[in-house]
Structures are given as C-alpha cells and as structure tokens.
C-alpha cells in the first residue's frame, strides 16, 4: 500500500510540473502540435454561410415576429428610424432647393396663406422637433456606450427613460416657441 501511495505522489508531482509548464505558455508539444491558424477571415466565413443559405433556399427563422419587444429594442429602432427620416427630410429639402422655382420665403408665405391654425402648426413643429430631439439625446446615450459606460441593464433602462423624457419635454418646449 505504501508503495502505491509513494508512486501516486511522485506521479502527481510530475503532472504539476507538466501542467505548470503548459500554463506558463511554453511551447509544449502536447498543446501546440495540433493548433492551426484559420485560413479565412470573418467576412469570407459570413459570405460562405450566406451563399449556403441561398443555395439550400433555407427559410429565415422568425425573429421580430416572435421575440418579446423591450424598451431598449424599441428605442434602438426608433433611433434608426428618426435618423433615416431626418436624412430623407434633409435630402428632400436640398433637392427641392435645386429643383423648385421661387425662394424659401415665397413657400413660407404660401403656407401662411393656408391659414392652418395654431394647433396644426404647433403639432407640425412638434413633429419636426421630436425626431431631432430624440435622435440627439439618444445619440448622446450611444456615445456614452462608445466610451464604455452604462451597459448594465438597470443603467440601460434608466438612461433610456431619461432620453424619452428629455425628448418629449424639449420637443414640447421647442414647439411652443
């Protein structure tokens, strides 16, 4: 019995040494003999996957139709939506400036002549101000994330609600000007 114990201790000690050598990162053939560098990059891997999917005509798994919506998800797509909407608005404005006859003041007096009423005009101002406000405040939230701050779930929700509140309040304030 004693012999077995002594052999076991010696054997364990050699394992400790071997494991220590491995974990210290030395080129132990036990570990590195079969390590191979990848031959493709991420983009190529993705392209292979996309091609295989279209070749096999695989249906897309349901995602937004089944996944339960959350405030962060809705704010994210709203950020994108307001961004695309504002870009479209600026583009339409710029193309109109190039294409339409008359100057800006003439179009404003045209709108004035419509006598739309203060309620409608205020609503329209809110409709313009809210996307700008939301995209700006949520943009600040995104920049904080880019600095590495505010990723914990409670923080995500808190900053999200703060952005919504600030956007609504500032849009109302701007519309009232």
Partner 1 sequence: MAAVTRISALCNRGVKPLFLSKSLLARTLVSSKKTRDPPVLLSAQIHTSPAHYAAGSKAASLHWTGERALSVALLGMIPVAYMYPGPAMDYSLAAALTLHSHWGLGQVLTDYVHGDTAIKASNAGLFALSAVTFAGLCYFNYHDVGICKAVAMLWSL
Which residues in this chain contact partner 1 in the complex, by CB under 8 A? 4-5, 8-9, 12, 15-16, 18-20, 22-23, 25, 30-38, 50, 80, 83-84, 86-87, 90-91, 93-98, 103-105, 108, 111-112, 121, 125, 136, 139-140, 142-143, 146, 177
Least separation in angstroms between CB 153 and partner 1: 24
Tokens of 65: 């139709």
Nearer to partner 1, 51 or 155 (CB): 51
- 141's CB contacts (< 8 A; 6+ apart) are 150, 159, 160, 163
Query: Whose Cβ is closer to partner 1: residue 9's or residue 74's?
Result: 9
* Burial per residue of 158-177, b for 16 or more beta-carbon CB atoms within 10 angstroms, e otherwise: ebbeebbebbeebbeeebee
Cβ at position 86, least distance to partner 1 in Å = 8
Rg for the chain, CA atoms, rounded:
31
């Amino acid at each position: 019995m004693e012999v077995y114990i002594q052999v076991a201790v010696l054997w364990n000690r050699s394992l400790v040494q071997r494991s220590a050598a491995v974990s210290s990162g030395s080129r132990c053939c036990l570990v590195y003999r079969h390590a191979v560098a990848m031959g493709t990059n991420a983009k190529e891997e993705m392209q292979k996957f996309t091609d295989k999917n279209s070749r096999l005509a695989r249906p897309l798994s349901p995602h937004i139709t089944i996944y339960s919506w959350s405030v962060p998800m809705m704010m994210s797509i709203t950020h994108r939506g307001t961004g695309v909407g504002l870009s479209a608005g600026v583009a339409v404005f710029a193309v109109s400036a190039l294409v339409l006859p008359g100057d800006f003041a003439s179009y404003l007096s045209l709108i004035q002549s419509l006598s739309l009423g203060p309620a409608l005009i205020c609503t329209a101002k809110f409709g313009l101000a809210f996307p700008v406000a939301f995209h700006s405040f949520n943009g600040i939230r995104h920049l904080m994330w880019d600095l590495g701050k505010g990723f914990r779930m409670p923080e995500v929700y808190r900053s999200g609600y703060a952005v919504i509140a600030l956007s609504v309040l500032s849009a109302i304030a701007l519309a009232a000007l």
